[in-house]
A and B are shown apart, each in its own frame.
Chain A
Amino acid sequence: MSIVVGIAPSQDNRPAVELGIVLARSYGHRLVAVAIDSAAWPMSPALFESEYQKKLRNVAEAALDEVRALLPDDIESECLVHSARSSRRGLLEMCQKENAFRLVVGPAADGKPGRIALGSVSTGLLHSASLPVALAPVGYRVVPEARLRRLTAAYSGSSTSADLILGAAVVSAESGVPFRIASFAPRSRVISAAGVGLDVESSVIDEWANVIRRDTDEILCSIDRLQIKPGETDVAIGTGSDWESALSAVEWEDPEIMMLGSSGLGALKRVSLGSHAMRILQHSPVPIVVVPRRAKSDYTSVAV
C-alpha cells in the first residue's frame, strides 16, 4: 500500500509532503508524490496545443524536482506525473492504481498560517474520494525522522462517528500509535433576556460533557473487545467560548493527526462534512484526516 501525496505545480507543496512523510514512516508504507498534468484532453493536432501541454508537463516535473529534494532516505518513495482530465480525477485514479492507504493534499493558497484551508480540489476530493484524505495545515513542518506520536479521533456523539472511532483505533493499533478520542463544543452565548442567568449554558455544556464521557467509556469498552487494540488510549473533552478555544483547550502532541468523519446524515449528497466537523476542520491546530462518506464502510469494516 502507499501514501499518495497530491502535488500542485507552482504552489507550496511542503506541508503536504511533510505530512505524507510522517504518515508513510508511521504506517510503514511507500510514499508516491503525484503531480497531475491536467491539460491532457484529447489533443488537437495543432502545434500550439501540444506546446502548451509540454509546458504544463515541464511545470509539473519542476514541482516534483522540488519535492524530491524534501524526501528522506529512510522511506521508500517515488515521484510521478499523471495525465488526467482534472486534478481531482487524476489523484483518485492514481490512488486506485497505487492501492493507496491515504491521499494527502496541501492547503489552499490563501489559508491562515497553521490552519487547514480547503481549496476547490480538496473540497472535490472530500465529496468523491473512497479513501481517507489527509489535509495539511498552512506552513506545516515536522522535525526530521518524526513519527506520529498520537492519533486522535473526533467524536461528535452520533453512532456513525462511534463506528469511525473503532476503525481509527484499529489503524492506530496496527501502526503502534497511541490513540485518543476527543470531543469539542463551544459554550453558546446565553439569551440574556431569558432571566435564567448568563452562566446557565455552562451547566448544559457540563451535562453534554457527561453524556460524551459516558459514550466514550462505552466506545473504550468496545475497543477493548477488538482483536487488535491500541496500546494507549485516552479521552479528551475540549470546551471554550468558541470553536478555536475549544480546540486549544486540549493538549496536542507534535506530530499528531485527527480523524474526522463526514456527516452520515446529510440530506444533500454533495455536502460531505457536517457543520460541527467543518468547524473542527477550520480550527484544528493539527492535520486532519477526513474519512469521506464513500470511504466510511471500508474504513469501519476493519473493526467489525
Chain B
Amino acid sequence: MTMATLRQQLFRVKPVPQQGESPESDLKRTIGLFSLTMIGVGSTIGTGIFFILSESVPVAGPAVIWSFVIAGLVAGLAVICYAELAGSVPVSGSSYSYAYATLGELPAMGVAACLLLEYGVAGAAVAVGWSQYVNQLLFNLFGFEIPHALAYAPEEGGIVNLPAILLLVMCCFLLVRGTGESVVINTVMVCTKIGVLLFFVLVGVTGWNVDNFADFAPFGFSGVVAGSGLIFFSYVGMDAVATAGDETKNPKKTMPRALIAALIIVTTVYVLVAVAALSAQPWQEFEGQTAGLSAILENIVGAQWPGTVVAAGAVISIFSVTLVSIYGQTRILFTMSRDGMMPKLFGEVNPRTLTPVKGTIVVTVVIAILAGFIPLNFLAEMTSIGTLVAFVVVSMAVIILRVREPNLERGFKVPFYPVLPVLAIIGCLWIISNLQVITIVVFLIWTAVILGLYFIFGRKSSVLGKQRAEQERIGGSDPAGGKL
C-alpha cells in the first residue's frame, strides 16, 4: 500500500459531478434575465451604503463617487469569472467548492478562510451599522438613546455593542426556525431598502449645494482607490448572480447581461446616493457621523420625519443583510463539514426544523463577539480583503481550468479571455495593496489559522482523502490523481 504524497494530498481535487449524475443537475433552468438581474440588485444594494459613506468619504473626499465606480468595475470583472466557474463546475458552496473542484484541497481551504471572513465579518459589520440607526430611530421616536457604553465597541469608548448582538440573536432565531420564513422576510426587507434609498435620493437632491464638490479629490487618486477598498464589500452580493448559473435559462447570454445590468443599476443607485449626500453636506462632516443618511436628511429638511423614515428603512433592511450573512456562513460551513474539512457539528441538520441549528448558533456567537467588540471601519476592511482574495482565486481558477480542461463544457465563457481574468486579478490586488497594513496582517494570520486547522484536522478527516485511501486499498487506479 502506498500512501499519497503530501503534495498529492494538498492538491487533490474533488471530482465534479457530470451533467445528469448529480442531484443538483435536476435543477430546472427557471431564472430569466429580469429575475437574475433582480437577484443581483436585491442582494447587493444596501449591504454597505447605509453607513459606508461616513467611512469612505473621509478617505476619498467627494471623489468617493469614483471609488464606487472602480469598486463596481473590479467586482464586475471578478463576477464574470465567477460566472464561468459556476457554469462549468455545477456544485454549491460558492467559490470554496469551485476551488476544491479546480485547484485542490489546500487552495480550497485558503478560499474558505476568505469566505468565512467575508461572511462572518460582513454580518458583524452591518450589525454594527444597524445599531447606529436603531439609536437614531429610538431618539427620533422616543427621545431616548441606548447609553454610549452599551452601543459602541470598546475602541470607540463603549463597553459592548448591545444592539448589534441583539440583531444577530434575532437573525439566528429566524434562521433556526426555518429557511422558508427567512426567505419571505428577506424579500420584504430587500424591497424596503430599495424604496428607502430612492426616497433618500429624492429628498437629498433638494439640498443641492454645488460648493460641496469644490475640493473634489482632496487625497488624490490613492484616496479614491483606498475608498474603493472600503466600499468593495458593498458589492459582495454580486456573486449571488454567478452562483445561480445552474438554474439560469440560456446562461451564456443571460448571465453576462444580468451581471452588467445589475452592476449598472447598483452602481447608479450608489452613485446617486453618494452624490445626493455629498451635495447636501461638506465632505469633512462625514467623518465620525453615525446613521449618516438619516442625519443628512434631517439637516436638509430641518425636520425629523425624513430622517426617521430612512432610519426605519435602514433598521429593516440591514436586518436582511445580517440574516443573509449568517445564512451564507452556515451553508458554507455545512458544505465544508460534509467534505470533512470542518467538524461534523456544522453539518448536522435538525430533523424538525430542517436547518443546521448547532452550526447557526456557533456562527452567531462568533459573529456576535466580533460585532460587540470591534469597530466598524476595521470590520469593513476585513470583509473587503476576504472578498478580494476570494475573487483573485476565482479569476485564477478560470485561467487554470481553461489550460487544464480545455474541453470541459462551460455554460458561460468569459469574453476577451485571458484579458478580463488578468484584469480582475490586477484590479483586486491593486485594491488590496491600498488597504491598511494591519488589515492585511490580520488577514494573513486568519488564513494561517484556517490552514493550520486544515493540517491538524481537515487533511486527516477529508472525506475525499478517505475515499481515495479506500480506492487505493482495494487496488483502484489513480488514487490521488485528481483529474476532473
Contact = CB atoms under 8 A, between A and B. Distances in A.
Nearest to A206: B23
Contacts of A276: 352
A193 B39 contact: yes
Interface in A185-217: 185-186, 188-208, 211-212, 215
B183 A193 contact: no
Contacts of B84: none
Contacts of B93: 196-197, 200
Contacts of B246: 197-199
Contacts of A158: 351-352
Question: B23, B27, B43, B331: which has the most chain A beta carbons within 10 Å?
Answer: B331
Nearest to A263: B352
Contacts of A208: 349, 351, 354
Nearest to A208: B349
Given A191-B327, A194-B240, A202-B23, A212 B351 contact: yes
A157 interface: yes
Contacts, number: 127
A157 B352 contact: yes
B43 A200 contact: no
Given A198-B246, A198-B247, A207 B179 contact: no
A156 interface: yes
Contact of B247 (A185, A194, A196, A199): A199
Interface string A120-163: 00000000000000000000000000000000000011100000
Contacts of B349: 204, 207-208, 211
B395 interface: no
Interface in B349-388: 349-352, 354-356
Nearest to B248: A198
Contacts of A186: 180
Nearest to B118: A195
B70 to A, nearest CB: 21
B290 to A, nearest CB: 25
Interface in A70-98: none
Given A193-B186, A276-B352, A199 B27 contact: yes
B442 to A, nearest CB: 22
A196 B331 contact: yes
A180 B349 CA distance: 23
B65 interface: no
Nearest to A155: B351
Interface string A48-72: 0000000000000000000000000
A192 B240 contact: yes
Main secondary structure of the interface of B (DSSP, over half): helix
A196 B351 contact: no
B180 A188 contact: yes
A191 B178 CA distance: 11
A208 B178 CA distance: 13
B318 to A, nearest CB: 13
A207 B23 contact: no
B277 interface: no
Question: A186, A196, A199: which has the most chain B beta carbons within 10 Å?
Answer: A196
B354 A196 contact: no
A215 B349 CA distance: 13
B94 A192 contact: no
B91 interface: yes
A200 B186 contact: no
B197 interface: no
Contacts of B39: 192-193
Given A207-B347, A211-B351, A276-B352, A195 B239 contact: yes
Interface stretch (B143-151, B217-225, B263-271, B332-340): B332-340
B118 to A, nearest CB: 9
Contacts of B350: 157
B393 interface: no
Interface residues of B, number: 49
A199 B335 CA distance: 11
Nearest to A156: B352
B237 interface: yes
Nearest to B24: A199
B42 interface: yes
A197 B183 CA distance: 14
B354 A204 contact: yes
B182 interface: yes
A201 B180 CA distance: 11
Contact of B351 (A157, A192, A195): A157
A200 B93 CA distance: 7
Contacts of A205: 354
B483 to A, nearest CB: 23
Contacts of A189: 179-180, 183
Given A191-B324, A203-B338, A208-B351, A196 B94 contact: yes
A29 B323 CA distance: 55
B348 to A, nearest CB: 8
A275 to B, nearest CB: 9
B328 A188 contact: no
B179 A190 contact: yes
Nearest to A189: B183
Given A189-B180, A192-B39, A198-B246, A204 B352 contact: no
B9 interface: no
A207 B178 contact: no
Contacts of B331: 194, 196, 200-201, 204
A191 B185 CA distance: 10
B276 to A, nearest CB: 24
Contacts of B258: none
Nearest to A201: B179
B330 to A, nearest CB: 9
Nearest to B82: A195
B124 to A, nearest CB: 16
Contacts of B323: 191
Contacts of B190: 193
Contacts of A185: 354
A203 B334 contact: yes
A222 to B, nearest CB: 17
B425 to A, nearest CB: 20
Nearest to A241: B28
Contacts of A196: 92-94, 243, 327-328, 331-332, 335
A193 B38 CA distance: 10
Contacts of A156: 351-352
Contacts of B196: none
Given A188-B183, A198-B247, A193 B24 contact: no
B92 A215 contact: no
A193 B319 CA distance: 13
5 contacts: A197-B243, A198-B243, A199-B24, A202-B27, A204-B334
Given A191-B179, A194-B328, A199-B92, 14 more contacts: A191-B183, A193-B190, A194-B43, A194-B240, A194-B327, A196-B93, A196-B328, A196-B335, A197-B86, A197-B92, A198-B92, A202-B24, A208-B351, A276-B352
For the complex of A and B, the 3 pairs showing the least CB-CB separation, nearest first, are A157-B351, A193-B43, A188-B179
